Amino acid sequence: MRQVNLAIIGGGTVGGGVFQALQRNGALMASRLGMELRVARVAVRDVRKARAVKIPAGLLTDDWKAAISDPQVNLVVELMGGTTTARKVVLAALRQGKPVVTANKALLSAHGKELFAAAQKHGANLYYEASVAGGIPIIKVLREGLVGNRITRLYGIVNGTCNYILSRMKLEGADFSAVLADAQRLGYAETPPDLDIDGHDAAHKIGILASLAHGFWVNPKQIYTEGIRAVTGQDIEFAGQLGYTIKLLGVVKRHDEQRAVQVSVYPALVPNSHVLANVNGVFNAVYVRGDVVGDTLYYGRGAGQDATASAVLSDLADAALDLKSGVKSRVAPFVPHERDGRVLPLAEAISRYYVRLNVADKPGTLAKIAAILGRARIGMSSVIQPEGHEGKSVPLILMIHDATNTAMAKAMSQISRLPVIKGAPTLIRVESFE
Ligand SMILES: NC(=O)c1ccc[n+]([C@@H]2O[C@H](COP(=O)([O-])OP(=O)(O)OC[C@H]3O[C@@H](n4cnc5c(N)ncnc54)[C@H](OP(=O)(O)O)[C@@H]3O)[C@@H](O)[C@H]2O)c1
């Protein structure tokens, strides 16, 4: 049986997981593929470090350049993370005509265009299933399963840390900082946690999915990104009373009339009747609407050693089959087919809103707020004053009809200057999934 010889660069959580999974299921994969996947080298930073997954000393090296240049190596697996050395690793392998598998969403988000161009130039494919939503094969879905569709909507819960925090805040009435501390203790959140809770990790992944779905490379700087730091237990509770669950959503919406695609990441109220409201804990889900297929849903573990290893194995299989059949890239890493593709600035996008104000408990307050919204032609669908709140200021919840983000920001700035408003208003978008 023919062999594919792998150089795995990185023997940490994912690298160790891939090594272990190949030990467990390598023979099964070989029988399915007709090709044996053999680990030839594993490059790490420190070969003497104690590792949770034992890797034979004879395979370990701290010289990634030598590992990828090894003449017997014909497939390189980049699992080191980061964007500086990892970029050099991927480019060096591609320049040698060796296909590369990577799980590195930060690298793709920052340098995707350059890496795809290098893959094309050197006739070596780049595979990246593990870079988005861990064990969910969403890249394959967009590039192959739904290739016959125009993707009109894509919504993703793609950051397990944020979903874990929001789920526990809802289910236990727990406070954001207490749950975050717990998540860090359990290893679900990094220290510092900024990349996850400020929405940047989700933006890296949503940018990749949006690019694949719409055929032009989305610059991460164009993705409006808002994390979950400002979501309070009170908002989760009030949203619950209104029949919603707050989720950090990646939102990709095609707007034909504006000839543009909205690509954003923000916390949103999701109706409890929608399936995404029930995706809890560290789980991820991606909801995709195609013009031919209709609505589809993909659910699973979005990160972690085994889920991510499963996605890497899928790429190893594709790479092995391409090598076996002598096809450089049966499926190209990225096919830009929308020359005039444009990301819709969020200011032009239309959203529904949940607004929480702290207002002086005085007659006439609502009339003043309604007058400002009326002048801005922004309609309210409901106004709720939650019971059980007393004192000089009390919460007031407004549910706002469709309004442009610009009109809403202007109206909110006027409302917050009213003497009856205490503190800054809280605005959370409401997703209707239309
Ligand atoms: N962890 C997840 O759940 C997950 C999920 C999806 C995607 N990913 C992505 O997978 C990638 C790897 O993540 P991870 O969690 O496995 O990271 P990790 O546990 O920190 O492992 C990184 C590995 O890279 C090695 N390394 C770092 N610099 C190196 C260098 N200059 N030369 C050789 N080896 C070097 C490290 O060596 P030492 O062991 O000697 O320090 C370590 O083995 C990242 O891009 C991440 O975004 C991770």
User: What would the pLDDT profile of 157-196 be if each residue is shown by its tens digit?
Assistant: 999 999 999 999 999 999 899 999 998 998 888 889 999 9
User: What would the pLDDT profile of 218-269 be if each residue is shown by its tens digit?
Assistant: 999 999 999 999 999 999 999 999 999 999 999 999 999 889 999 999 999 9
Instruction: Tell which CATH architecture fits domain 349-430.
Output: 2-Layer Sandwich (3.30)
DSSP class per residue in 111-127: HHHHHHHHHHHHT--EE
Q: How far apart are CA 399 and CA 241, in angstroms?
A: 13
Q: Which of 205, 253, 362, 368 is catalytic?
A: 205
State the pLDDT confidence band at 391, using cuts at 50, 70 and 90.
Answer: confident
Q: What does the domain layout of the chain look like in residue ranges?
A: 2-135+305-325, 138-300, 349-430
* Residue 358 Cβ contacting ligand 1 at under 6 Å: no
Answer for the pair 358, 423: CB distance below 8 angstroms, yes or no. Answer: yes
Q: How many residues does the chain have?
A: 434
pLDDT of residue 322: 96
State the pLDDT confidence band at 120, using cuts at 50, 70 and 90.
Answer: very high
Pocket test for ligand 1, best of 129, 308, 310 (most atoms within 8 A of CB): 308
**Which residue did the predictor score with more confidence, 134 or 429?**
429
State the pLDDT confidence band at 402, using cuts at 50, 70 and 90.
Answer: very high
For 290, the enclosing helix (H) or strand (E) is strand 283-290
Specify the CATH number of the domain 2-135+305-325: 3.40.50.720
Pair of tokens at residue 126: 């780049």
Q: Distance from the CA of 27 to the center of ligand 1, in angstroms?
A: 25
- Is the predicted pLDDT of residue 328 greater than 90, yes or no? no
* Residue 156 Cβ contacting ligand 1 at under 6 Å: no
Whose tokens are 């409890």? That residue is 272
Q: How far apart are CA 394 and CA 97, in angstroms?
A: 65
First to last CA, the chain: 51
Q: Distance from the CA of 44 to the center of ligand 1, in angstroms?
A: 9
Q: Distance from the CA of 345 to the center of ligand 1, in angstroms?
A: 34
Specify the CATH number of the domain 138-300: 3.30.360.10
Concerning whether 54 is annotated as a catalytic residue, the answer is no
pTM over 0.85: yes
Counting DSSP H helices and E strands in the chain, the numbers are 13, 16
Answer for the pair 25, 314: CB distance below 8 angstroms, yes or no. Answer: no
Could you identify the atom of ligand 1 that is nearest to the CA of residue 46? 40
* Residue 19 Cβ contacting ligand 1 at under 6 Å: no
Cβ of 96: how many Cβ atoms within 10 Å? 15
Could you identify the atom of ligand 1 that is nearest to the CA of residue 134? 6
Could you identify the atom of ligand 1 that is nearest to the CA of residue 105? 47
Distance of CA 397 to the CA centre of its chain: 30
- Is the predicted pLDDT of residue 380 greater than 90, yes or no? yes
pLDDT of residue 186: 86
pLDDT of residue 136: 97
User: What would the pLDDT profile of 70-97 be if each residue is shown by its tens digit?
Assistant: 999 999 999 999 999 999 999 999 999 9
